[in-house]
Amino acid sequence: MSQNQIQLLLKYQEEDEKILRIENEVNNSEQRKNYMKARAFLKAAPEKLDAMDARALELAKLLEKLVAEQQDIAETLTDFENIDELVEDGGDISFYKKNLSQLTEKLKKIKSELNNLTKSAKDADEEFQAFKKKTISIQKQYEEYKNAYQEYRAKRQKEAEAVREELEKLSADISEKAMNGYQTKRSERIFPVICAALQDRCSKCGMSLSIAGKEALARGDIIECENCHRYLFKG
């Protein structure tokens, strides 16, 4: 490949880099981030709302169970109001006392569990309300973000189009073989496609050149780096 062709290819590559920069800027733009974030949130929202619903149901069931247990114990305790009669009928007072204290303990435990559960249910409900509010607000924002992103992307795509037109002009002076080789590597996401060999090494990845490679470069040819597969020219 002639020095002139190498220079033209480098110029083409320099222009081509603008396309990559535009694509990068679009991908990293606030507009895209906002849009993607809102989209991901809304996509995950139904599942999260379902999970919250299931949790609320679970808490309600637990609450119901504890209230029933509490009632049971309270009813049993009323039997102890007649403890004097029971003892008179020949009952063992220590047995009743033990039973009574066990039931009182159990009732205390249930009351504390009920307090905790009531708090959990309240927290869960607050979380659910907050999430619902957020979902509604993001639903409203979503269209706005989507439009802003599409508008921004269209504007940048126009810029990229102008660059592509320039590339088209530049490619007219580059041999078909060189151009095809460049485009193949470019489509493999190798960039830069062509770079200098400096001090017998690839200037991009640092790989040493083979003897045959050095000889080819000395003849003015372009070689391929054995490691990163970029085209190398004598720098």
Q: Residues in the site for Zn ion, rule: CB under 5 A? A: 202, 204-205, 207, 225, 227-228
Q: Residue 42 or residue 228: which is nearer to Zn ion going by CB?
A: 228
Residue 220 Cβ, how far from Zn ion at the closest point, in Å?
19
Q: Are 194 and 230 in contact (CB under 8 A)?
A: yes
Find tokens 């990293």 and name the residue: 28
Residue 20 Cβ, how far from Zn ion at the closest point, in Å?
18
Closest among 154, 151, 186 to 167, alpha carbons compared: 186
Give the 3-state secondary structure of residue 228. Answer: coil
Q: Residue 35 or residue 182: which is nearer to Zn ion going by CB?
A: 182
The helix or strand, by DSSP H or E, that contains position 233, with its residue range, turns out to be strand 231-234
Residue 167 Cβ, how far from Zn ion at the closest point, in Å?
24
Q: Are 207 and 201 in contact (CB under 8 A)?
A: yes
Q: Residue 35 or residue 213: which is nearer to Zn ion going by CB?
A: 213
The encoded tokens of residue 167 equal 């590339």
Residue 234 Cβ, how far from Zn ion at the closest point, in Å?
15
Rounded CA-CA distance 166/158 in Å is 13
Q: Residue 185 or residue 204: which is nearer to Zn ion going by CB?
A: 204
Q: Residue 217 or residue 225: which is nearer to Zn ion going by CB?
A: 225
Residue 188 Cβ, how far from Zn ion at the closest point, in Å?
14
Residue 225 Cβ, how far from Zn ion at the closest point, in Å?
3
Query: What is the largest distance, in Å, between two alpha-carbon atoms of the chain?
Result: 121
Q: Residue 112 or residue 184: which is nearer to Zn ion going by CB?
A: 184
Find tokens 């060999």 and name the residue: 197
Rounded CA-CA distance 209/227 in Å is 10
Phi, then psi, of 221 in degrees rounded to 5: -80, 170
